[in-house]
Amino acid sequence: MEIKFKPEDKAESLEQLFEMMFGRSTAIESGKCVSCGKEVTRESLRNEISFKEYTISGLCQECQDEVFGAD
């Protein structure tokens, strides 16, 4: 059988993207980490860069360290 179209996982990844986006903003607003679900406080974030990163990615300090390295 000839394959005419190769299905891409577009729908799935879009869905994941939306979930990530909506879940992310909700988590950030409520001060939770989107990755591990831990509570994130201003004090738990090491510096201004980590603070900024949290407002962008929603990752707590530990998860940021894991993703970006502890530097």
Catalog residues that contact Zn ion under the rule CB under 5 A. Answer: 33, 35-36, 60, 63
Alpha-carbon span 38 to 33, nearest angstrom: 5
**Cβ closest to Zn ion, residue 8 vs residue 40:** 40
* Residue closer to Zn ion, measured from CB, 14 or 68: 68
Shortest Cβ 37–Zn ion spacing (Å): 7
d(CA 56, CA 25): 9
Give the amino acid at 59.
L
For tokens 């510096």, the residue is: 47
What is the closest distance, in whole angstroms, from the C-beta atom of residue 41 to Zn ion in the complex?
Answer: 12
